[in-house]
Amino acid sequence: MIDPLFWIAAALLSGIVVMILVRPLMRRSGAAPGTARDRAASDVAVYKAQLGEVERDLARGVLAPEQAEAARLEIQRRLIRAAEARDAEPVRTAPRAVLWGLAAIVPLGALGLYAILGAPGTPDMPMADRVAAAEARHADDRARFEAMTAELAERMRDRPDDVTGWTMLGRAERVLGRIDASLAAFDKALAAAGGIEAAPGDLLADIGETHVHAAQGAVDAEALEWFGRAVARDPQNLKARHYLAVARSQAGDDRGALALLRGMAEDAPADAPWLETLQQRIAALESRIGPDAASVQGETVGGAAATPPGAAAGAASASGPFSGAVAERGPDRESMAAAADMSPEQRDAFIRSMVQRLAERLESAPDDPDGWVRLGRAHTVLGEPAEARTAFGKAATIWRERLAAMPADAPDRAAVEQRLRQVEELL
């Protein structure tokens, strides 16, 4: 049952709205500024003032009695005409039917909309109860999903060669946060598919994504290896290409990430349901890079596939770790496959060489806070938190020095303060 106070408040608000709508309609239309009645009333006031002026001039001797009488008669004649015009203006009010109709339509219409769009029978629920109800629904959903996953796992015991079934089980276990169980199911899927060399690209990308979950969202070297294999097998694999772009961004190479995403957008069908989300990510990177983003060309499928080992296929890194050359034509399929076959040790050595080059450049040109942030992110991906904090600290120091040198009313001071806060959050 709805609280009576609700209906009282609704009635008061409806009454106020009705008065706001009806009051202007009840006014005499002739009183409105700019109408004939308004102008005539103004003329009457003017003529009365002129009569008083004539009397004052007569008293001061400025006008002779006969002149004053002639002027008085002319002004009185005009005054009578203006008064007749004022009184002749009809008095208009809105018809009573219209007024009563408005008075009824507003509250009844609001009540009807509330009955259709609202929930009149819903009882009040404090915020704590709402949170508890949402948590209970979430727990119920998880329990049902866990039961379905257990049922699927039971069925898969008798279906060792079902690649699709094992892949679905691996994905379900990953959703539940059971990474070890997910990887075990994907191992079964790999075996059913005939091994890594015969596995479809989607399966390889799923395994890479599971390693990303295991690394708390970081696209580490092991995940990169699986994504590299996925695009070598299927150059159009969206999941693998997406994570390769994420890897570049995490390593501080926003330009390289933008190149991959623009390449994906160029390859996407016009009606792809995920294209809008992709364009939003591209716009975010463009905003972060600034005007230089216009010079970044979309990387083709070949360039994306070569990303896991970066420039190992012959492309030079221009922006940082994981950054292949932004070229119109990437390496061929054999080069991509060879790059994907690099061992984790070789891949780690390559990444570290990229990071080392970035560090050397910053040592020679240290006044680059964005460069230090990129270096810090690269060390984070490599699992080197101490080195990452050092790089982030140098970026924060540069921003603090710039902020201290700026006037209090500098137009770009707020932007510098924001950049400083962002870096300090990384420390």
Treating both helix axes as pointing N-terminal to C-terminal, what angle do 344-364 and 221-233 enclose, rounded to 10 degrees?
110
Q: To the nearest whole percent, how much of the chain has pLDDT over 90?
A: 22
Task: Give the model's pLDDT for residue 343.
Answer: 58
pLDDT in tens, 338-383: 444 455 666 566 667 778 888 888 888 888 888 888 788 778 877 7
Inside any domain, residue 386: yes
Between residues 419 and 218, the one the model is more confident about: 218
- Check whether residue 214 and residue 323 sit in a common domain: yes
DSSP 73-87: HHHHHHHHHHHHHHH
290 Ramachandran zone, left/alpha/beta (phi>0; psi -120 to 50):
left
291, 320, 342 - which closes a domain: 342
Inside any domain, residue 356: yes
- Check whether residue 222 and residue 330 sit in a common domain: yes
- Check whether residue 32 and residue 94 sit in a common domain: yes
* Amino acid at site 345: E
Cβ atoms of 307 and 219 within 8 Å: the answer is no
Q: Angle at the Cα of 387 (from 314 to 392), degrees rounded to 5?
A: 95
Inside any domain, residue 188: no
CA distances in angstroms from 347 to 20, 253, 312, 344, 423, listed in the order given:
73, 17, 9, 5, 28
Quote the number of domains for the chain.
3
Inside any domain, residue 139: no
Task: Give the model's pLDDT for residue 313.
Answer: 30
Read off the tokens for 299.
């990387």
- Check whether residue 394 and residue 349 sit in a common domain: yes
- Check whether residue 224 and residue 338 sit in a common domain: yes
Q: To the nearest whole percent, how much of the chain has pLDDT over 70?
A: 77
117, 144, 164 - which closes a domain: 117
CA atoms of 340 and 222, how far apart (whole Å): 11
Inside any domain, residue 123: no
Between residues 48 and 161, the one the model is more confident about: 161
Neighbours of 54 (CB within 10 A): 19
- Does 208 score more than 90 pLDDT? yes
- CA-CA-CA-CA torsion sign (379, 384, 385, 387): negative
Task: Give the model's pLDDT for residue 331.
Answer: 35
* Amino acid at site 399: W
Cβ atoms of 282 and 258 within 8 Å: the answer is yes
CA atoms of 169 and 190, how far apart (whole Å): 13
Task: Give the model's pLDDT for residue 239.
Answer: 93
Between residues 103 and 29, the one the model is more confident about: 103
CA distances in angstroms from 385 to 256, 352, 422, 427, listed in the order given:
23, 15, 17, 10
Domain that includes residue 39, residue range: 4-117
- Check whether residue 285 and residue 417 sit in a common domain: no
Task: Give the model's pLDDT for residue 335.
Answer: 37
The CA R_g of the chain, rounded to the nearest whole Å, is 39
Report how far apart the first and last C-alpha atoms of the chain are (Å, whole number). Answer: 53
- Does 166 score more than 90 pLDDT? yes
- Check whether residue 255 and residue 217 sit in a common domain: yes
CA atoms of 108 and 317, how far apart (whole Å): 69
Task: Give the model's pLDDT for residue 273.
Answer: 86
Residue in the block written with tokens 């303060």: 417
3-class DSSP assignment, residue 365: coil
- Does 421 score more than 50 pLDDT? yes
pLDDT confidence tier of residue 186, bands split at 50, 70 and 90: very high
Inside any domain, residue 375: yes
Question: Measured in whole angstroms, how far is the alpha carbon of residue 30 from the centre of its chain?
Answer: 53
- Check whether residue 47 and residue 68 sit in a common domain: yes
317, 342, 367 - which closes a domain: 342
- Check whether residue 318 and residue 365 sit in a common domain: no
Residue 389 sits in a domain whose CATH number is: 1.20.58
* Amino acid at site 330: G
- CA-CA-CA-CA torsion sign (410, 415, 420, 425): positive
- Check whether residue 324 and residue 212 sit in a common domain: yes
pTM tops 0.85, yes or no = no
For the chain, percent helix, then strand, then coil, each to nearest 5? 75, 0, 25
- Check whether residue 98 and residue 207 sit in a common domain: no
Read off the tokens for 188.
């079964």
Mean pLDDT rounded to a whole number for the chain: 77
Inside any domain, residue 146: no
CA atoms of 227 and 205, how far apart (whole Å): 5
- Check whether residue 226 and residue 259 sit in a common domain: yes
